[in-house]
Amino acid sequence: MHKNTQKFVITGGRRLCGEIALQGSKNSALPIMAAAFLAQGETVLKGCPKLTDVYSAMRILTCLGCRCRMEGSNAVIDSSSPGSFSISDELMGEMRSSIMFMGAILGRMGECEVSAPGGCELGPRPIDMHLAALRKMGAEINIRGGRIYCRLPSGRARGTKISLSFPSVGATENIILCAVRAEGETIINNAAREPEICDLCSFLRCCGADIKGDGESRIVINGIENLHGCEYTVMPDRIAGATYLSIAAAAGGELILKNACVAEMEPFLSVLEQTGCCVYSSENRIYLRRGGRLRAIKNRIRTMPHPGFPTDAQAVLMAALITAEGTSVFEENIFDCRYRHTDALIKMGADIEVMGKAAVIRGVDRLHGAEAEATDLRGGAAVAAAALSADGTTVLTGIGHIDRGYEKFEEAVTSLGGIIRRE
């Protein structure tokens, strides 16, 4: 994980007004960068967010023998002549998405050597489904001393039918990455349906891949021998969108989100509307206005695989509901340990009780600034959102987590009139 000793000093209590153009999606860009390793040639990834995780992916690609550079907001990746199939422990540990390179390297090189990935600590994050699926596709996998060695005896994976016990985003992506150059047809049942899966598949189709059914539970991939590079624009980041909307809802004010993926954000927007905020959307814009106090959400907010309420938006919406009138209840069904942000929120005056999967939020009148720590990416953003709505000043450490997912976070908040300083 990144060592970042910087902090945000945030003074709350200001209404936030203005426009933000949404960054490209982190959770699309990262698997697409792994997919670029499969293409024999140059990929230009437009609208690639400048995030520490994206730079980690570039370092991985470079160590695999690709040439990578950022040109403005485009990531340019040349995978014409890969030179390695191994990723060091250190690079693997920088982020969770490093595991996506396993399927891509195997698909391109027929063998790979990696280790367990890093990433946010949200409870145990095993990769058993990834490994079982790759084994079913013909990979021989040996794990020794924390290193994972995978090899396809015939050099190519073989198409097969894989039924996932849970629609894991990462496992679905890894299977797709390995299957696009496999021999024959791969069918994934109970596949994840997240929009970022569709974005990955759209990119791969631009490179020549034959994939059908993405966005549904059954994805069918017909393997082809070679993929070529292409130019592709990454989809907007629906979770960054949910975060900025939650920040405006928490602090009060008016926000126009430009470059928004409205349809993909619907599971979040339909809950946000129930707080009493005015939310309008048209094409690729979302407008939010919060006048009076927010209302609590009556029904349990259950995080579920897409198209359910996204787990990645749980923390930021919670930040807005802390000062709502009434009691809201979250139920976290995706990760075992995704309420770590509640300690900081309680320190700021929130009334939150965590009971296993459930978190009960009893609305309070006001929050106050505090010394707080960001313990993971979305949790860190949630504490920043609460700080912007609180009386006084919050000193937020651990902001390396926020830099992993939000491009120019403080510039965006400042442009809305928020007071935030990086020190």
Judged by CB under 6 A, the stretch of 135-143, 150-158, 161-169, 318-326 that binds ligand EPZ is 161-169
Residue 123 or 155 having the CB closest to ligand EPZ: 123
Q: Is 134 one of the binding residues for ligand EPZ (CB under 6 A)?
A: no
| Cβ neighbours, 10 Å, residue 258 | 12
Residue 166 or 280 having the CB closest to ligand EPZ: 166
Residues 241 and 288: their CA atoms lie apart, in Å, by: 11
Instruction: Exactly one of 48, 68, 112, 120 is catalytic; name it.
Output: 120
Q: Which of 49, 62, 96, 413 is nearest to 255 (CA)?
A: 413
Exposed/middle/buried for residue 392 (C-beta within 10 Å: 0-12, 13-18, 19+): middle
Q: Is 268 one of the binding residues for ligand EPZ (CB under 6 A)?
A: no
Residues 121 and 124: their CA atoms lie apart, in Å, by: 8
Residue 130 or 290 having the CB closest to ligand EPZ: 130
Q: Is 174 one of the binding residues for ligand EPZ (CB under 6 A)?
A: no
Q: Is 112 one of the binding residues for ligand EPZ (CB under 6 A)?
A: no
Smallest distance from the beta carbon of 369 to ligand EPZ, in angstroms? 25
Q: Is 166 one of the binding residues for ligand EPZ (CB under 6 A)?
A: yes
Residue 13 or 310 having the CB closest to ligand EPZ: 310
Those residues with Cβ within 8 angstroms of residue 34's Cβ, 6 or more apart along the chain or in another chain: 57, 97, 100, 101, 103, 104, 173, 177
Q: Is there a contact between 380 and 341 (Cβ–Cβ < 8 Å)? A: yes
Stretch 213-252 residues interacting with ligand EPZ (CB under 6 A): 239
Residue 235 or 367 having the CB closest to ligand EPZ: 235
Q: Is 401 one of the binding residues for ligand EPZ (CB under 6 A)?
A: no
- One of 54, 76, 171, 317 touching ligand EPZ (CB under 6 A): 171
Identity at 226, one-letter amino acid code: N
**Number of residues near ligand EPZ (by CB under 6 A):** 26
The owner of tokens 């997240």 is 194
Residues 58 and 61: their CA atoms lie apart, in Å, by: 5
| Cβ neighbours, 10 Å, residue 47 | 21
- One of 12, 118, 170, 241 touching ligand EPZ (CB under 6 A): 170
Site string for ligand EPZ, 309-328 (x = CB under 6 A): --xx----------------
Smallest distance from the beta carbon of 165 to ligand EPZ, in angstroms? 8
Exposed/middle/buried for residue 202 (C-beta within 10 Å: 0-12, 13-18, 19+): middle
| C-alpha 208 chain-centroid distance | 26
Residues 323-353 as b/e (b if ≥16 CB within 10 A, e otherwise) read: bbeeebbbebbbbeebbbbbbbbebbbbebe
Q: Is 334 one of the binding residues for ligand EPZ (CB under 6 A)?
A: yes
Q: Is 97 one of the binding residues for ligand EPZ (CB under 6 A)?
A: yes
Q: Is 43 one of the binding residues for ligand EPZ (CB under 6 A)?
A: no
120 carries an active-site annotation: yes
- One of 56, 79, 98, 168 touching ligand EPZ (CB under 6 A): 168
Rg (C-alpha) for the chain, rounded Å, is: 21
Q: Which residues are catalytic?
A: 120
Site for ligand EPZ, rule CB under 6 A: 27, 30, 96-97, 120, 124-130, 166, 168-171, 194, 239, 311-312, 334-335, 377-378, 405
